[in-house]
Structure 1
Amino acid sequence: MKITNDTPAEYSISEIFMPDIVHARFCVFDMEGTGMDTVNDRIIQIGAVIVENGKINPSRKFESLVNPGITVPPQIERFTGIKNERLLDAPGFGAVYERFRQFIGDDKTILIAHCGFEYDFSLLQQECKRAGLEYFVNPKLDTKVMFANLYPERKETFSTDFLLLYYRIQSDDVTRHTAAGDSILTGRILENILNDYKILGISHFKLVGSRRILKFIPQVLK
């Protein structure tokens, strides 16, 4: 896999091949952090679900708060609903990461997040580096890239909200902007994308030429 940050607004990705994607096992995850700086900010919550054979496994869910060791800014408290007081007794990153590894189960499971190549994977890798822990060797994907590869003619920014509307996915039964809630929604998005792959008769994920992806640029939180 090759990723190049072309501009602040877009990146290019190429050289990915994953066989039999429609029957693969995925760990769909989401993280909340103290901010958008993947080098200096910290993880405060991890949520995940397992997708197997194109469907969310309702019995396989992961959720944990993470004590970041730093103060969560007020705007992040308001956005996520996660207050500093709730994190005081939460486990540190190392303990949560070990539980998360056990939840994933093996190094063949595909790790996938929405905007993962822009935020989640970099933030997670930096946390591992800071804690002296081995970063995942699992294959990695992004629902945004999967959708863009299916529909190269579309030029929108494929935000979570865009894909929820595009696929008419129910979202009022989960809490948004929490890692647990957003991982479920990303899992539902992945279910629909994988169904599109089946309908189109595509069994492998293959990206040889470079694909440009518009980044999601969040509004400034106040």
Structure 2
Amino acid sequence: MAGSPADAQLSFADVDPAADLALRDTTFVVVDLETTGGRASAGPGAPADAITEIGAVKVRGGQVLGEFATLVDPQRTIPPQIVRLTGITTAMVHDAPTIAAVLPMFLEFARGAVLVAHNAGFDTGFLRAAAEQCGIGWPRPPVLCTVRLARRVLTREEAPSVRLGTLAQLVGSATRPTHRALDDARATVDVLHA
């Protein structure tokens, strides 16, 4: 019978009371990167692209614990199509720290947390490649992809697209994704919490 307690959506606490507590006590670092292109690794005749910006938000129990944001000097010219997309110019990153200086600080910020990203394979692919390039061991954090999560919990009728801008609007995010790392990480936090 519709509306009966058996039809109600169960929470984690209904299934396993410890699970809800564990989820509330889990620290997530929601990260977004801007890059010079889409190749985290070099291919035949094509060099790898590089990170130009890292933005991250650390959250636990729905509360923001901190933010991490920096431009990164990719040590190359930023292609015009990327400048148009992100607004990040070669001049803006000229005096920014390199990934060798930034990555250890980001990894410390994210230590012990579940890493969350929208299309996580892209972001973690670049972070892993940067760690290898810098001779830093990749810590292998647990990773949660909000694209995959959205596809599991939303129907195609509810969300015909799982683009970050579409999902942010759907969940009523106060932050509009702008293709700038910290704004996009903040919007992803809202998608995660929805």
Query: In which range does the TM-score fall when normalised by the shorter chain?
Result: 0.7 to 0.9
What residue identity is the alignment partner of 1:160?
L
Q: Deviations over 1:137-196 (max 9, x none)?
A: 211111122222223x43733111221122122235xx711111111111111121xxxx
Higher helix share: 2
RMSD of equivalent CA atoms: 1.8
Deviation (angstroms), 1:127 = 1.5
- Name the residue aligned to 2:40: 38
Among the aligned pairs, what percent are the same residue?
30
What residue identity is the alignment partner of 2:62?
G
Equivalent runs, 1:176-187 vs 2, <5 Å: 176-187=178-189
SS in 1 for 2:179: coil
Question: Which of 127, 148, 152 is the equivalent residue of 1:149?
Answer: 152
Gaps of 5+ in 1: 1-18, 193-222
When normalised by structure 2's length, the TM-score is 0.78
What residue identity is the alignment partner of 1:187?
V
- Name the residue aligned to 1:159: 163
Taking the aligned partners of 1:43 and 1:121, their CA distance within structure 2 comes to 11
Instruction: Give the paired residue count.
Output: 166
Taking the aligned partners of 2:163 and 2:124, their CA distance within structure 1 comes to 17
Q: Are 1:116 and 2:120 matched, yes or no?
A: yes
**Partners of 2:171 and 2:190 within 8 A in 1:** no
**Partners of 1:56 and 1:188 within 8 A in 2:** no
**Partners of 2:32 and 2:181 within 8 A in 1:** yes
Gaps of 5+ in 2: 1-18, 42-47
When normalised by structure 1's length, the TM-score is 0.69
Taking the aligned partners of 2:118 and 2:64, their CA distance within structure 1 comes to 16
Higher strand share: 1
Deviation (angstroms), 1:22 = 4.4
Greater RCO structure (CA 8 Å; 6+ sep): 1
Which stretch of structure 1 is more off in the superposition, 122-131 or 38-47?
A: 122-131
